Amino acid sequence: MLLACGVAMQVVAEDEAVPSGNDVVAAGDIDVQIPDAKSKTSDHLGLEFTSANERFSINPWLRGQFRFSDPFDSDPLTAEDFANEPGGDLEIRRARLKIEGYLFGPRVGFYYEHELSGDHPLLDMRLDLEVHEDWELRIGQYKVLYNRERIDSSGKQQFVERSISTYAFTLDRQVGVTATGRFKAGTRLDNWLMLGVNKGTGRGGIDEDGGDPMYLARWQWHFLGVPLPFSQSDLKVRRKPAASLAFAAAHVRGPYTRYSTSGGGQLDGFDSGGNERYTLRQFLQEFAWHFNGMSVQQEYHVKQIRDHESGSDSTLRGGYAQFGRLWEITPRDRSFAIEAAIRVARVDWSTPEPHRVQDEITLVSNLFIRGHNNKVSAEVSQVRLDNDATGKDQDLRFRLQWDVSF
């Protein structure tokens, strides 16, 4: 195959127009409103190889995330987590190789993401197939299209890490297929419907024995007629507001009560059991809005867990709300910007363990050197746990992070 090789020496700005029939898409870890293989808006530095006949394209790049945290990094779940503070820690939090492109023409897009450290290196491997102008299929292993905070790449967030609600409610990466359709594009009724069927065993669970498949649905409405991508902070400094209101639901019966980057597992207080021990039902309401450098994002979750071995039922409720304000330092090329943001989050546990409530208040300051692709963040959080059995515990946490893609 004859390849034409080019080195991308200039970042594609997030506010550049995207030549697509679906108006707004994004590639790689930005993810998509509609998975559209025809267009890409990667705003990183990297190499791009395209065949002479333009039927094949491949675009690899690297991402690193370097973090200092004190006195801990992970969110405390028990009183012991507060008592056993490990002290300050400097680590390479993420080191990843990412590759995107298309095969046999832009209607068949692909995306691959590999963790360069850790026991389970394969993160994403998927195909995005354009069936029709407004209908697409995603097949492979990927973050399920359920809630915005998890779909948002960790490199495209306002905060150093996701909120405390992620531990309890994320469905994370799954192996499966998702069909996405868009209706009334460009109008006040502009909306997306996403329907997915997944294995339900989490990342790397292809060969594991599990229970029933995971079924999920997400309906997303851009009621201002302007699509809003899965990416935090209003780096565009939009002159016309964009917003999204979404509702989602998921159902699975299997061996797990939670999912994470490591795959399927158990929430704190739940035991492992048979392949059909637990039934999970989850519900989501979500809102996001960007305008003139300001951004709002909010989610509310309900998670019901049925333990078929013990006969017990548990319900978790929680979510977060965050607000950010961005100021451009160099408005002409938008290379530099600063941002301040605040987030509040809560998770209310009604589980077999003593009732407990987690709370988080976080303040962050971001310096964007090249958008999200070269960003320094300083964050302070107050994390609190109110446990009926052990009482109240709280602490302050500081985190400093540099996230860079090239």
User: In this predicted structure, what is the pLDDT of residue 15?
Assistant: 34
The total of other beta-carbon atoms located within 10 Å of residue 138's CB is 24
- 378, pLDDT greater than 80: yes
Alpha carbons 151 and 35: distance in angstroms, whole number: 13
Q: What residues contact 259, with CB distance under 8 A and at least 6 apart?
A: 170, 171, 172, 173, 174, 202, 203, 265
Read off φ and ψ for residue 29, nearest 5 degrees. Answer: -75, -10
How far is it, in rounded angstroms, from Cα 73 to Cα 401? 12
Where residue 208 falls among pLDDT bands split at 50, 70, 90? low
Q: Residue 284: what pLDDT?
A: 98
From the CA atom positions of the chain, what is the Rg in Å? Answer: 21
Q: Are 201 and 266 in contact (CB under 8 A)?
A: no
Q: For residues 403 and 405, what is the distance between their CA atoms, to the nearest angstrom?
A: 7
For Cα atoms 120, 35, 206, give the angle at the middle one, nearest 5 degrees. Answer: 30
Q: pLDDT for 152-196, tens place per residue?
A: 999 899 999 999 999 999 999 999 999 999 999 989 999 999 999
- Lookup: tokens for 271: 């035991």
The distance of Cα 101 from the centroid of its chain, to the nearest Å, equals 21
Instruction: Decide: pTM greater than 0.85.
Output: yes
Say whether pLDDT at 22 is over 80: no
The sign of the dihedral angle between the CA atoms of 80, 86, 89, 95 is: negative
Q: What is the pLDDT of residue 149?
A: 96
What pLDDT, on a 0 to 100 scale, did the predictor assign at position 210? 65
Average pLDDT over residues 34-52: 58
Going by C-alpha positions, the residue among 127, 126, 130 that lies closest to residue 107 is: 130
What local confidence, expressed as pLDDT, does residue 91 receive? 93
Superfamily covering domain 13-405: Porin (2.40.160.10)
CB 30 within 8 A of CB 42: yes
Pairing of strands 122-132, 108-115: antiparallel
The CA-to-CA distance between both ends of the chain, in Å, stands at: 26
Rounded to 10 degrees, what is the CA torsion of 111, 117, 118, 120? 30
What the block records as the tokens of 119 is 């026991």
What letter represents residue 192's amino acid? W
Higher pLDDT, 367 or 331: 367
Structure tokens at 181: 């359709």
Interval 212-243: pLDDT, tens: 999 999 999 999 999 999 999 999 999 999 99
Establish whether the linkage from the previous residue to 71 is cis, with ω within 30° of 0: yes
